[in-house]
A and B are shown apart, each in its own frame.
Chain A
Amino acid sequence: MNILVCVSNVPDTTTKVKFNGTQLVTEGVQWIVNPWDELAITRALELKESGAGVDKITIATVGLVGVEPTMRKGLAMGADDAIRVDSDPKDAFYTASQLAEVVKAGNYDLIMTGFESADYNGISVGAMLSELMGYASVGAVSAVNIIDGKLQIDREIDGGKEVLSVETPLVVSVQKGIAIDPRIPAMRGIMMARRKPLKVLAPVDADVYTEIVEIELPKAKSAVKLFDAEDVAGLVDALRNEANVI
């Protein structure tokens, strides 16, 4: 079984974002593997190492050359090879269209995407990719297992989970639970990652459906109203009669 993990390159989540017009000011920004994509790679590695029948793990990113260090992190974690589509990920549909070309050119049984990309928070690419490919898709995936060579997927539902069997090829959108701690690359992995193949593909023409035309900062919050630790009654009164929330 071959697994493709779609990896988005995002600013470290603690970044205090600043903008110049609609462009993120990238000075001082630390770039990371999108947290859910990192968990997806981790789970793919666990499956491969457990001898469940995973042959190869490939990562794919749509991005300009600046995303390569992040892709190398994915390789250092243990992915076998990487494919970069050499274009700005203009919007979700455009990005999914590029990834669809990557999928068509390969031979993948399972395609893993994350719940959302921690920059534009689109929550879109996974479902769009599966629709473009005509593949089955499962969202809100909290576990991926391979049992007797077949995929078994847990999907979160309200109050619990469903265990699904799904035909391959398949696109999943993974969330928390799929793996606990993201794999930390070891020194050996980092050394090996330098020599692993990272193929660059030219983008295909695709429509751009949405664009960000303005960034607006949220209104500054008014200062917190503090109550004395002895005045719990004061807090309850404020919640009842001022905020009207209880």
Chain B
Amino acid sequence: MSVLVYLENWDGKFKKVSHELLSYGKSLADKMGVSMFALSLGAVDSNELESLKAFGPEKIFIATNGFETLDNEVFAAAISQAAEKEDASMVVFSQDNVGNALAGHVAVKLKAGLVSAVSALPVSFDPFIIKKKIYTNKVYGHVKVNTDKKVLSLSKNTYEIIENPGAGEVEELSLDLPVAKTKVESVDKVTGKLLLTDAELVVSAGRGLKGPENWGMIEELAQVLGAATGCSRPVSDEGWRPHTEHVGQTGKIIAPNLYLAIGISGAIQHVGGISNSKCIVAINKDPDAPIFEVADYGIVGDAFKVVPELINELKKA
């Protein structure tokens, strides 16, 4: 028995979430009294692999060729073969676009129950019960998994990073892969911009801002804080901001350390996307806006006055 953690790489590099996943996998493995293995597919720098050792993998499996394009069938075959090799009873993914697309494939291959978007260790191992938020984050469900093998996906920025050095020997796997059915025709991507889904600080604004011409101060505030920018759904529907910034139940579900909501009323569908944030701050001119029910801190006031002052105050020290 073992725990296998699948680590996605982004252009050959690992993100902070990889360290969260390893920390989580290691805690699971320790509780089960088994080893944790990591798996990385595609080309990665060797010093990147080296950096993973600090988080406790017994071995780091790699396979380099054939993973240039994310073809779910190819990746799922590779991951389940690695899982079978080490008799993994638990496979852990990151809950993101890639993890979501792969976890279901791997779960079916391994005949494993899948619980997605978990944020903590299981409540119990025998029977195996783990909590996850359901009904768009309104309540926790305790999910009992009846299969011997389990597949989990862990939400970003929810599990603490714990250093815990492991042997971390790198081993190249030889795998039997299917032929890819997906082909990338073109890629359109900006690099260097802080992504909403990676950000620990998020500045988000809603219809209270009146129009796209007023986003200058939002971007400036985000820049001063080193935050990513988000928005409410009507703002992206109106085309004031790109769809990738839409936060909420039907947009991005995020859990930053700080979520600053400016001129956002706090509709239940919006709150469904931010309720796991560590700290929510609201700036709204309406003292009865529902956002204040979920906020930790707030200012009742006009965003056009408060935001510039906030920028000045933050620039001070």
Tell me the A residues contacting B by CB distance below 8 Å.
11, 13-17, 19, 22, 24, 35-36, 91-93, 96, 115, 118-128, 130-132, 136-140, 142, 152, 155-167, 170, 173, 176-177, 180-181, 207-218, 221-222, 224-229, 231-233, 235-236, 238-239, 243, 245-246
Contact = CB atoms under 8 A, between A and B. Distances in A.
B243 A142 contact: yes
Closest 5 CB pairs of A and B: A127-B104, A160-B189, A139-B101, A229-B301, A209-B113
Contact of A228 (B107, B181, B299): B299
Interface stretch (B25-33, B165-173, B209-217, B275-283): B275-283
A119 B133 CA distance: 10
Contacts of B108: 93, 96, 127-128, 131-132
Nearest to B277: A245
A17 B139 contact: yes
Interface in B71-104: 71-73, 76, 95, 97-98, 100-104
Contact of A14 (B111, B184, B268): B268
B97 A92 contact: no
Interface string B33-48: 0000000000000000
Contacts of B143: 210-213
Given A123-B153, A243-B279, 9 more contacts: A93-B107, A120-B141, A127-B101, A139-B101, A212-B134, A216-B139, A229-B299, A232-B306, A235-B281
Contacts of A209: 107, 111-114, 145-147
Contact of B101 (A138, A167, A177): A138
B298 interface: yes
A121 B116 contact: yes
A235 B297 contact: yes
B265 interface: no
Interface residues of B, number: 96
Interface of B: 10, 70-73, 76, 95, 97-98, 100-105, 107-109, 111-117, 129, 131-136, 138-147, 153, 181-191, 193, 195, 197-198, 201, 225, 236-237, 243-244, 246, 249-251, 257-258, 267-269, 272, 275, 278-279, 281-282, 292-302, 305-306, 309-310, 313-314
Residue in B141, B185, B188, B195 with the greatest tally of chain A CB atoms within 10 Å:
B141
A118 B296 contact: no
Contact of A173 (B100, B141, B182, B300): B100
